[in-house]
Amino acid sequence: MTQTDKAIDRTKLLPSDPSQQWVCTACSFNMIGFYPKRCRFCGATPEHFTTALDCSATRQVEAVQVSDRISQLKSAPPFDFEHAAYRIDTGNGIVWIDCPSTFDSQMTPMEYILFTHYDCLGASNLYRQEFRTQVWIHQRDAVHPNSRRFSFDRTFEADFELLGIEAVVMGGHTPGFTLYFFEDTLFLCDYVERVDSEFIWNPYGNRVKTPLVGQAVARLLSDRPTPPKTVCGVDYVEDYESWKVKFDRLMMQT
C-alpha cells in the first residue's frame, strides 16, 4: 500500500437497510437509500425496481467452480444483465473480486471484496454489514456518482498485493479501473465485451482512453514471465490462449 491509500473510519458509515435499497431487475444495479426516477445504470423506469429485501427472498447466489480455488458468482434466477463476480479461496481467507447484485446470507463469509470498477458494486454494502467484510476500490472510482452511498473501507491509488492477489491499476474504461491476477488467472471484468464471439472495447466508458489503456493491458500481459492460463470476464470464463487471439484481433483494429 502507498501513502495515498485511505483507510476509512467505519463509525462514520450509515447502516444499510435492505428495505430501503432498490435493485433494477433490468440491469441488476443496486441503488441505496433512495428510489430514483430512472435506474442510474441503465435508465429503466421504476416498474423494474424491486427492494434488496425482495431480491434476497426470491434469488440466491450461485457459485460455479472455475478452478480449485476460484468460482464464478451470479444471481439465480438470473437478471437480464449482471456483472459476474468471482470468489477466490486464497488459503488465507476468502476474497471476492466484484460483488453479486443479490444479497445471500448463506454465502461463506468473505474477508475482502476488491472492485475492478464502479459498475459492479452489487449488494456489497449488505455483505459488508453482515460479515464485516473489508471493501476496497480505487479512489477515483469511489468518488464516481455510481458509488454514491456505497461504503468502502479502503480506497487505493496504486498497485498492491493482498493474500497472493495482485492488483494492477489501469484506468481506461473507468478512471480507476483495476485488474487482478491470482496464480494463473486474470480478472478483467468488462474491459472488453463479447459481441458475436469477437471482442469490442467496452463502449460505456471513455472511448478514447479505453483502447489506449488496452494497449497497456496488452504490454502488461506480454511482459509477464508466465502468461495467465484463464481469463475471468464479465460474463465468461475462457482459456487465455483463445481469449488472447480475439484480444489481439481487437488490438489490430484499434
Strand order in the sheet with 165-169: 160-162, 165-169, 178-182, 185-189, 230-233, 237-239
Q: Tell me which residue of 180, 164, 250 sits closest to 215, measured CA to CA.
A: 250
- Give the interface size with Zn ion as a residue count (CB under 5 A): 2
Site map 33..72 versus Zn ion, x via CB under 5 A: ----------------------------------------
- Whole-number Å distance between alpha carbons of 126 and 128: 5
Nearer to Zn ion, 119 or 153 (CB): 119
Strand partners, 57: none
- The DSSP code for 148 is T
CB atoms within 10 A of CB 56: 18
Nearer to Zn ion, 104 or 190 (CB): 190
Contact flag: residue 104 with Zn ion (CB under 5 A): no
Tell me which residue has its CB nearest to Zn ion. Answer: 119
Nearer to Zn ion, 155 or 210 (CB): 210
Contact flag: residue 82 with Zn ion (CB under 5 A): no
Nearer to Zn ion, 141 or 190 (CB): 190
Q: By CB under 5 A, what part of segment 171-200 binds Zn ion?
A: 190
Q: Can you give the length of the chain in residues?
A: 254
49: enclosing H helix or E strand:
strand 49-51
Cell 491476477 appears where? 181
Which member of 82, 98, 119, 141 binds Zn ion (CB under 5 A)? 119
Nearer to Zn ion, 119 or 141 (CB): 119
CB of 190 to Zn ion, least distance (A): 4
Q: ω into residue 77 within 30 of 0, thus cis?
A: yes
Contacting positions for Zn ion (CB under 5 A):
119, 190
